[in-house]
Structure 1
Amino acid sequence: MPLSGPLYERVVSAPSVPAGLPLVVTLTGFTDAGSAVSRLVDHLRTEHDPEPVVSFNPDVLFDYRARRPIITFDGDRLTDYAAPRLELSLVHDTLGQPFVLLSGYEPDFAWEAFADTVVGLAEGLQVRSITWVHAIPMPVPHTRPLGTTVSGTRADLTEAHSIWKPRTQVPATVGHLLEYRFSESSASVAGFVLLIPHYLAETDFPAAAIAGLDSISVATGLVFDSDTLREENREYLEKVDDQVSNSDELTAMLHNLEARYDAYMAGSTSAQPIIHSGDLPSADELAAELERFLANRPSGDDDRRPGLG
């Protein structure tokens, strides 16, 4: 059980946050196909130097045994302990435009208290909009632009960028709860679900992070330099295409997905799934394809974020 205590603390040296900024939410957790959100968090922290304003208490919010922190063993001693981070920060985009970023691990505990706190902090900062991103696997080809499903209160974004509008029940993330609570308060909120090729969902797919940045840009007007990610993606796709070209099964699967995707995009204007469930490969077929596809990736300790060989 989590310890009792304050949910967060304000950072003493925190910068002043102007009113009326967009709030961007990137929380790693239950659904992160292609490591989209993990890479987004890494990219924003590395390239944009967030200045923490509020730090959430990991002992109250996290289950350490479910997602163990990383410690560094160097020869004969422990040299570094990377505690889980969940912070509300002031950040500037590539053009120097400020925004507020909530990023880090998705809480394991106290969801309602966390959501109430975030909504209250956002109201106190008078943020003008809320945008969040997560990613799920879908039977779509990597040779086509990554699509999105958009939810929330911004009908303009849903109309322009939501290519799949299902009615379904899914296991929630805390991002869903935040969107739901912000919607209840009539805030301007948009949630982007990135639709990642199912056969790449368990890899570190740079295009997923690029699509996340592009979605945030569309919703907020913020600008991000993604040249490094794009170069990584070109190298990644060369490896993918090489493996596909050397497998008749993968080539047939890709052509099938391309044909279905193109037919859907050309002829469908209604809220229907891109690929109907009856057209999907069986679970056994898909498992075999994935096994062959990922057979040459390097082995590592962290099976949650494998890469291609």
Structure 2
Amino acid sequence: MTSDKLRIYRRAKLDEGRLLIGLSGWMDGGNISTGTVKFFVEQLDAPKSAQIKPEGFYIYSFPGSMEITAMFRPHTRIRDGIVESCDMPRNTFFLSEENNLVLFAGKEPNLKWEEYADCIFSVCHRFGVKTIYFIGSVAGLVPHTRQPRFTCSVSDGDMKKTVRRYGVRMSNYEGPASIVTHMTARARDEGVGMMTLVAEIPAYVQGQNPGCISAVSRLLANILGIHIELEKLKSIGEEFERKLSEIIEMQPELASHIGKLEEDYDNEVFDTEMGDLKEWLEQRGIRVD
């Protein structure tokens, strides 16, 4: 089946290769998942090496109101009557041989998880990948003035020691799963290890969060042992934080909530309820999961 869906453009056999995955969808708040992988691809100047065809993996026509249906439709751009683009989902692999690394930027599939995973594991086997890393994010109790907290899940207990030195906590979770969880559960049977790193990011910050992307990129560079230029991204993140703080200062109620988050963060209070902050956000149409 994978031969019909998977196209290989550039081949290589890596030595104990690694695969870094970023997916749009469920765990891409702040564009952390896709933004981090995009940053690595650009910094490493990694060429395209393979692609998964989108046909059969996505729902384009979903019954319901236009607002709901629009969430599933491909994005198009029309200028002066000319259809300039119609962007279908892209699932692209990039290769950095000198860093023993494959990178994958894709969109979490709605359908046929098993076949989609087959394509990814096929790339692992063909390129000599032995370890898969997925980076994602969830909205939580972290203030924008602090570093995101990280939790981790792994396919094999021996992998825990790799991240514990960086202060990453092991995940405890029960609930709806993603394709990443499905792949992690399957990884051992495929002969590869898999690690999921999830950054807890500020629930009240909407859109791309360059500060958190910077923190995630720094952690991944250390784990992967890759030298990558981070100073420019760090500066962008610091400027983003400064401007956000200026806006928050103009909203005393929100500033008070964030002050409490900072206190809890500094006192290492992890398992708290959002309480008033959650209610404040939801009143303004911001959902917190």
If the TM-score is normalised by the length of the shorter chain, which range does it land in? 0.7 to 0.9
Aligned to 2:94: 89
> Per-residue deviation at 1:165?
4.0
Is 1:32 paired with 2:37?
Answer: no
| Cα pair distance change 1:167/1:144, threshold 3 Å | same
Q: Is the 8 A contact 1:25 1:130 kept in 2?
A: yes
2:146 pairs with one of 140, 144, 147: 144
**What is the aligned partner in structure 2 of residue 303 from structure 1?**
none
Q: Which residue does the alignment assign to 1:208?
A: 212
Indicate the residue corresponding to 1:22 in structure 2.
18
Aligned to 2:129: 127
* Residue of structure 1 in register with 2:68 after alignment: none
- Percent of matched pairs sharing the same residue: 19
1:48 CA displacement: 3.6
Partner of 1:9: 7
Contact 1:37 1:212 in 2 (8 A): no
Q: What CA distance in whole angstroms lies between the structure 2 residues aligned with 1:128 and 1:18? A: 9
**What runs of 5+ residues in structure 1 fail to find an aligned partner?**
266-273, 295-309
**For the residues of structure 1 that align with 2:213 and 2:160, how far apart are their CA atoms?**
24
Report the alpha carbon displacement of residue 115 of structure 1 after superposing the two structures with TM: 1.7
> SS of 1:61's equivalent?
coil
**Cα RMSD for the two superposed structures:** 2.6
Out of 39, 45, 68, which is 1:43 matched to?
39
State TM-score, norm by structure 2: 0.83
How far apart, CA to CA, are the structure 1 residues paired with 2:84 and 2:280?
A: 45
* 8 A Cα contact 1:27 1:175, kept in partner: no
- The partner residue of 1:280 within 275, 280, 286 is 275
Report which stretch shifted further, 239-248 or 68-77: 68-77
**Which residue of structure 1 lines up, in the alignment, with residue 58 of structure 2?**
62
Conservation of the 8 A alpha-carbon contact between 1:136 and 1:194: yes
Displacement, 1:237? 1.2
* Preserved contact between residue 136 and residue 196 of structure 1 (Cα < 8 Å): yes
1:118 & 1:127 partners in 2: Cα distance? Answer: 10
What is the SS of the residue equivalent to 1:118?
A: helix
- The answer on whether the counterparts of 2:41 and 2:103 sit within 8 Å (CA) in structure 1 is no
Are the counterparts in 2 of residues 20 and 125 from structure 1 also a CA contact under 8 Å? no
Q: Unaligned stretches of 5+ in structure 2?
A: 62-70
> Which moves more between the two structures, 109-118 or 15-24?
15-24
SS of the aligned residue for 2:215 comes to helix
